[in-house]
Amino acid sequence: MQPRVELVRVFPEGPAGGNPAPIVLDAAGMSDAQMQAVARSSGHESGFVVPASAASGADFGLRFWVPNHEMSMCGHATVGAVWLLDREGLLPRDDVRIETLSGLVAARVVGRQVEVSQPAGVVEAVPDDVAAAVAGVLGITAAELAAPLQNARTSRVKTLVPLASVEALDGLQPDFGRVEAVCAALGSTGLYPYAVGDAAGQVFHARQFPRSSGYPEDAATGIAAAALCFGLLEQGRVRADETPIHVRQGQAMGSPSRISLRFRLSGEQVDGIWLGGRVELAAGDAVR
């Protein structure tokens, strides 16, 4: 029996926006090969709801596949899966704990949106010689970088590439054949160039070019947006409070998306972040 695969669009900003995510709500009997086949046939990061292990204390588990391999965590597929479970009346409560290969993840339904937790980020500087190589892959010179590059991670390392304007960001024409090699040299899973949209409103624009997912660009990348927030925090470009930060992505692909994030505080210390946004069923409702 073929699993029912629901296609949702996560973080949409407009009718054609968001990142498509195929979701299987009952993947308990699926093999690794079957899960990967779903991702390959759709060409998108896909989420699979499975039972949690008894020792985890989680409400359920999630596994994630891209066309080329399994991933430990996928922000937008988690948001999409929780939204779909809630829509189908299968979510046990508004606040749930999810077992993933990256560890336990908290998620909650807040009004019409879903938020997913990520741990506090770790940020490291990128050496100048590697930064020059990154610029070359993106089709620009090192002189066009607006600030030093950073490697930042919550669940996975992303390389943050600051540019001077949104126009420069949208105009990037990467050499996709070289992305994997430069990411390997960086120990990174993707290049995440970004630019300031509205500094006062904490709005930033970004694009993601993944290392080896099986497609060249993402329309919305929650894990990368979370990493970006910690890079910006280290630079003093966002406030260390619960003021929303918005990351717009996908415009250059014709799939405009908006990811909303808020730092999670313990006292006055930032100890993690919530990432979230809207979800909607994609046209056609389901793929099989």
Q: Over range 207-230, report the average pLDDT.
A: 96
pLDDT band of residue 286 (cuts 50, 70, 90) is very low
Residues 151 and 243 in one domain: yes
Do 80 and 134 belong together in one domain?
no
Tokens (6 digits) for 240? 């260390």
Q: Measure the CA–CA gap between 156 and 74, rounded to whole angstroms.
A: 10
Residues 35, 144 within the same domain: no
Instruction: State whether 235 and 126 are in the same domain.
Output: yes
What type of residue is 153? R
Same domain for 101 and 178, yes or no, is: no
**Domain assignment of residue 102, given as a range:** 5-119+279-287
Instruction: Answer whether residue 209 is part of any domain.
Output: yes
Pairing between β-strand 60-65 and β-strand 95-100 as defined by DSSP bridges: parallel
Same domain, 127 and 113: no
Within its chain, how far is the Cα of 132 from the centroid?
25
Q: Assess whether 129 and 51 both reside in one domain.
A: no
pLDDT digits over 27-78, tens only? 999 999 999 999 999 999 999 999 999 999 999 999 999 999 999 999 999 9
Active site residues: 45
Give the SS3 label for residue 5. Answer: strand
What CA–CA distance (Å, rounded) separates 286 from 267? 44
Contact between 227 and 153 (Cβ < 8 Å): yes
Q: Is residue 271 part of a domain?
A: no
Let me know whether 128 and 254 are in one domain: yes
The answer to whether residue 288 scores a pLDDT higher than 70 is no
pLDDT score of 284: 57
For residue 27, the domain's CATH number is 3.10.310.10
Pairwise CA distance, residues 227 & 242, whole Å: 16
Is residue 273 one of the residues assigned to a domain? no
> Which residues sit opposite 60 in a β-bridge?
98
Report H helices in 120-175: 128-138, 166-170
The rounded distance, in Å, linking the Cα atoms of 119 and 51 is 23
Q: What is the pLDDT of residues 177-198, one digit of tens each?
A: 999 999 999 999 999 999 999 9
pTM (whole model) above 0.85: yes
Q: Report the length, in residues, of the chain.
A: 288
Average pLDDT of the residues of the chain: 95
Residues 130 and 138: their CA atoms lie apart, in Å, by 13
272 within some domain? no
Report CA Rg, the chain: 18
Residues 151 and 108 in one domain: no
